[in-house]
Structures are given as structure tokens and as C-alpha cells.
Amino acid sequence: MKPQPIALKVLNVVSVLLFLAALSMVFLYAPLEATMNYVQKIFYFHIANAWVGMLGFIAAAVAGVVYLVRHDQKWDIVELAAVEISLVFFLIAILAGSIWARPTWGAYWTWEPRLTTAAILEMVYIAYLLLRQGIDDPDRRARFSAVYTLVGAISVPITFLSIRLFRTIHPVVIGTNSAASQGGFDMTSKMLATMFFALFTFSIIFANLFWHRIRLGQLAQQVEQLKLEEIQ
């Protein structure tokens, strides 16, 4: 494997430092929320992870389209890296959301539009990985993955809108029906600052992991080419 470039080493350190800074901001700088107290603090990382996960998905779709147009294998590596990493970020977001939901809404999960769409998005990611697993030929794998990313990326917004349509016309009773059942709260400027900092931190962490994953993908591609040459 090629040695890590200086920029990557710097990014590693910066990511860790930013994460520690974000953590301390969440616990020390951001004020306690009135009704939810400490439970609300998971919110900052939940939003950051969800946002970054969505972004990764869009990046994967774009990489897929570029691959179909250019047929350059490196875009396939980028696409796989984006999907794999976003899968984990989004899973963390879902888990964090569930932890937050239990005391707030009374249930770990509800079938409201955003959560349902999140679950479907995760399923699309997992289906993507299963698709890749089933194909040995690198070119075919790259083509099929790109096609599926495109189909998935187009379907997810439509799914979100359709679920929203589904749930607004026939409202579903969620666990607790108190005024705070939405879990909404007004954010003071300190909270906003913390949230944006967390968003920024996780974007940097995403970029860092993305770069590492691409390097890993390049190495895997070399290994696979060696294997194919051996077989031939």
C-alpha cells in the first residue's frame, strides 16, 4: 500500500481533535434543554451523522453516473467507499435517534416519514453491498452497482414524499401524544453553534474515512487484478 500522504496524516489528527472538541462543546458549551435535559445532547451527533450519511449517498450516486459515462474504474472505488461509509454513519444516526426517541416519544421506533425513509435507505445500501458480493467480474460489478445506485438514489426522495403523503392524509398515532411528541424544541444560539460544529466535525471525519476507504479500495483492486492474472 502506498504510504499515507502528509495531508492524510494531518487529516487523521485533525479529525480526532475536532471530534474531541465537538464532544466537549456538546457537554460543556451547549446548555441543557428545558424538558429533555441530557437526553437531548445525543441530538447533535444524531443530526450530524444523518446529514453526512445522506451526503455520502448523493456522492455515491454521482460517482455511479460518472462511472457509467467515463468507464474509469476509480469512480467505482469512490462509489463503493461512499456507500460503505455512509451505511455506517447512517446506522449510527438511526441508533442514536432510537436512543433519543425512547425517553422522548416513548418508543424506540415509529413509522413516521423520516424514520421509515431512513430504514429504506439503509436497506438500499445493504442491497447494494449484496449485489456487489454476487458478481465476480470487476467491470460488470462496477456497471451494475452504478445502475443500482442511480435507481436507489432516484427512488429514495420519491419514497420520502410518498410516505409523507401516506402519513399526512391518514395520521398515525405515535406513542405519546403530548405537545412535545414531535420532540421539537427551540434552539438557542449556543445550541445552533454546537450543532453546526458537530456537522462540520462529522463532515471532516467522513472525508477522512472516505480517503482511507478509497486507498483500501485501490489496494483491493490491485489484489483482485493479481488474482485474475493468476487464474489466467
Give the interface with other proteins as residue ranges (CB under 8 A). Answer: 68, 120, 123-124, 126-127, 130-131, 133-136, 140, 143-144, 146-148, 150-152, 154-155, 158-159, 161-163, 165-166, 169-170
* Of 10 and 127, CB closest to other proteins: 127
Spatial separation of the C-alpha atoms in residues 78 and 67, rounded to whole Å = 10
* Of 33 and 122, CB closest to other proteins: 122
Minimum CB separation from other proteins for residue 68, in Å?
A: 6
Minimum CB separation from other proteins for residue 123, in Å?
A: 4
* Of 99 and 120, CB closest to other proteins: 120
Residue 88: Cβ-neighbour burial (10 angstroms; 0-12, 13-18, 19+): middle
Q: Using alpha carbons only, what angle is made at residue 100 by residues 204 and 174, rounded to the nearest 5 degrees?
A: 130
Minimum CB separation from other proteins for residue 46, in Å?
A: 22
* Of 152 and 183, CB closest to other proteins: 152
* Of 36 and 120, CB closest to other proteins: 120
Minimum CB separation from other proteins for residue 155, in Å?
A: 4
* Of 13 and 127, CB closest to other proteins: 127
Q: What is the DSSP string of the chain?
A: -PPPPHHHHHHHHHHHHHHHHHHHIIIIISPPBTTTBGGGGHHHHHHHHHHHHHHHHHHHHHHHHHHHHH--HHHHHHHHHHHHHHHHHHHHHHHHHHHHHHHHHSSS----HHHHHHHHHHHHHHHHHHHHHT---HHHHHHHHHHHHHHHHHHHHHHHHHHHHHHHHSPPPPS--SGGGG------HHHHHHHHHHHHHHHHHHHHHHHHHHHHHHHHHHHHHHHHHHH-
Minimum CB separation from other proteins for residue 108, in Å?
A: 21
Minimum CB separation from other proteins for residue 104, in Å?
A: 26
